[in-house]
Copies of this chain bind each other. A is one copy, B any other.
Amino acid sequence: MRAAGLRRALALSPRRVPAMEQDGRRGTATGPGPATATATATGTGAGAGAGAGRGRVLSSATMNPRIRRVEYAVRGAIVTRALELEAELQQGVRKPFTEVIKANIGDAHAMGQTPITFLRQVTTLCLYPELLHDAAFPEDAKKRAQRILDACAGHSAGAYSASPGIPVIRQDVARYIERRDGGIPSNPDHIFLSTGASDAIVTVLKLLVWGEGRERTGVLIPIPQYPLYSAALAELGAVQVNYYLDEERCWALDLNELRRALRQAREHCTPRVLCIINPGNPTGQVQSRQCIEDTIRFAWDERLFLMADEVYQDNVYAPGSQFHSFKKVLTEMGPPFAEGVELASFHSISKGFMGECGFRGGYMEVLNMDPEVRQQLSKLVSVRLCPPVPGQILLDAVMDPPQPGEPSHPRFAAEKHAVLSALADKAQLTQEILNRAPGIRCNPVQGAMYAFPRIDLPARAVRQAQDQGMAPDMFFCLKLLEETGICVVPGSGFGQREGTYHFRMTILPPTEKLQTLLEKLSWFHSKFTQDYS
């Protein structure tokens, strides 16, 4: 870790030489400018040498500075260390634990959840159509596979699809949304399939982010946030505008805080976008209908484009909590909102009961989008040709699941129920065990797949972390990992109110393992508190 931290520090303050000495090009006051990039000792294998003593064309000092600013905690330093520890265990190195448990990422299959049979059957039949004659595969899966293959160019999943996705799948998505929203119409032309939700989110941001100085697009995002947002905004050079969720009210969205954030942002940028994550990631709250209405009214009044990240819409556990789609609420609010508020809503096959992260499937629905802009969006997605077809197919099986009376229905319903009810139990278990521990407070996990507990850290630990240039909760999480093998992500990777500390953990491990993990974690926090008091 130290070496990595050191390398990062070096990257931020590269040694410079006058540009003229370097390669005859003029130096400049703006931008990083050319600099030496002497080969470091960290290079592995071929390619470590810079050749003939010159600096590299592309070095950490001469690369795009926006990319250097990108951070993505969910797969950051702590995960790198977890992988190293795993490798050490495999090599027989003795550790105070026998297994690294990666509770850092919402990856259900990695935690042992088995695929939903029907989804895989439809996908498999499309990839290997010979199996359409295999009696071991049920007729309803075959029917769906045949319909998709008929819609593929050359009847092959290996052909490019239309850039916004295979038309029949976009139709199935629209029908799924209509059922979800009690019959409110959905237009397949407003559906764009994507390479996971991340892809669609970044695509919409690309349309919205432009301008220089005070004209630069500001994007309001919740804090704590899922770090895709901060990473994408850094990459695009947008102004990140933080609005803080209210931890005391179960991470509710607070309209006054939203107003404050917007007012202050307007002093230095042009806020054009409001991002919502509901159910919340990393915070697990489920927004009330009233709160969604207020948010929509706010977006209308303040002329903000709404981006609703609704990838956890099937993951609602708490009694009394219910998922309301922004589209449904907006439509039911009537004019001027129903036809005026511009919205993009995102969904994914990586979460819910399916957890098929590896397939990179998802979609967005756009509402009240300028038809010209929709054309521009279609053009933009065409440059990448199409989302992965296997992911599109699997998405279709989610959108058009077996119905009562169809042969796959009993098994599908049972598998789906088993996953979701286990998750509800684990959500409950997580908050119960964590709240028993002194110095840890955990809001109810109403939805999504994560707990985001607040932890007290002793002043001496905070000081020691700061001395090492490290966020205090990163310090805690690293110690936790080294001593218990438990990998969780520090709250600082998601953002939190100054002076508060948290971590995010998934509730995905199998129940018994989760229970052990939670107890170990509570024990370690108590030990850590004593050690540093």
Residues of A participating in the B interface, judged by any CB pair closer than 8 Å: 7, 10-11, 23, 25-26, 28, 30-33, 37, 39-40, 42-52, 54, 56-60, 62-68, 70-72, 75-76, 102, 105, 107-115, 120-121, 123-124, 127-128, 131, 152-154, 156-161, 163, 185, 187, 189-190, 195-196, 198-199, 206-212, 214-215, 228, 231-232, 235, 270, 272, 303-305, 335-342, 350, 354-360, 366-373, 375-376, 379-380, 382-391
A-B contacts, 26 listed (Cβ < 8 Å) = A30-B215, A33-B215, A39-B371, A43-B371, A44-B189, A44-B371, A46-B190, A47-B367, A47-B369, A50-B339, A50-B368, A50-B370, A56-B369, A56-B370, A67-B206, A70-B379, A109-B158, A111-B154, A123-B127, A124-B131, A127-B390, A157-B358, A158-B358, A195-B384, A196-B385, A359-B390
A63 to B358, CA, bound (A): 32
A60/B212 contact (C-beta < 8 A), A368-B51, A389-B359 known: no
A384/B198 contact (C-beta < 8 A), A153-B109, A373-B59 known: yes
| Distance between A371 CB and nearest chain B CB, rounded to angstroms | 4
A114 to B359, CA, bound (A): 23
The 6 residue pairs across chains A and B that have the minimum distance between CB atoms: A51-B340, A358-B389, A110-B153, A60-B372, A109-B156, A45-B187
The answer to whether B208 touches A63, judged by C-beta atoms less than 8 angstroms apart, is: yes
A63 to B112, CA, bound (A): 44
Could you say which of A131, A232, A366 has the most chain B C-beta atoms within 10 Å of its C-beta?
A131
The answer to whether A388 touches B120, judged by C-beta atoms less than 8 angstroms apart, is: no
The answer to whether A371 touches B63, judged by C-beta atoms less than 8 angstroms apart, is: no
| Distance between A48 CB and nearest chain B CB, rounded to angstroms | 7
Among candidates B187, B336, B388, residue contacting A47 with C-beta atoms closer than 8 Å: B187
Among candidates B110, B111, B114, B370, residue contacting A58 with C-beta atoms closer than 8 Å: B370
Chain B hits for A187, CB < 8 A: 44-47
A185 to B111, CA, bound (A): 36
A305 to B34, CA, bound (A): 14
| Distance between A529 CB and nearest chain B CB, rounded to angstroms | 32
Copies of chain A in the complex: 2
The answer to whether B45 touches A158, judged by C-beta atoms less than 8 angstroms apart, is: no
- Interface of A, secondary structure class, is loop
Of all chain B residues, which has the CB nearest A11? B372
Of all chain B residues, which has the CB nearest A306? B57
| Distance between A62 CB and nearest chain B CB, rounded to angstroms | 8
Chain B hits for A157, CB < 8 A: 358-359
